[in-house]
Amino acid sequence: MKIANNILETIGNTPMVKLNAITKEMEATVLAKVEYFNPGSSVKDRMALKMVEDAEADGRLKPGGTIVEGTSGNTGMGLALAAIVKGYKLICVSTDKQSKEKFDILRAVGAEVIVCPTAVEPDDPRSYYSVSRRLAEETPNSWYVNQYDNLSNRIAHYETTGPEIWEQTDGKITHFVVGVGTGGTISGVAKYLKEKNPAIKVWGIDTYGSVFKKYHETGIFDENEIYPYITEE
């Protein structure tokens, strides 16, 4: 029998599906990696589990501890799954540009959710970055995930998503197109694919107000490029 011991073992190995209707006038074969087949419904399950496992391995996350993270929701769901299975508490700090439904789901799976204002500077004590760091410092036996600077984020995709894409396309992939959030998916997958074939093109897609485009082109991180926006209503 092929049985998963827990829900975490079902993360990854998502299907690759050919897009037909929207590509009918194109000569290229366009495939979609269906990451919402992960148990938490997003690609973030991969890195959430990897970050937790690595923190357990090096002692940053101890038995019965509390996980603290700033999240727009998807990473929080991945962390919630790991917390449920492994017996941790979870505090998710988010912004008011996310939907109430997303917060309701996180609370339903046991997370404590704290909502912070969006239109403040990152170093403002009210920002979700500042609040999540402060809570991690104030909460006994806690671990601050810090997905933006956590190398396990990128490694998760180097070890799983990249190899899956390469295998599922029989190594014939020529272009990789991906949304950019923390940068973990694009950097991890791109590193793996380009080690296999340096000619593969990688395209990162982000919303208006992203700082990645200018940084990629100029090497300058320009805070004036950041704009508040609503992602969900």
**Active-site hit among 2, 18, 24, 44:** 44
Q: Is 196 a catalytic residue?
A: no
3-state DSSP of 104-164: HHHHHCCCEEEEECCCCCCCCCCCHHHHHHHHHHHCCCEEECCCCCCHHHHHHHHHHHHHH
Active site residues: 44
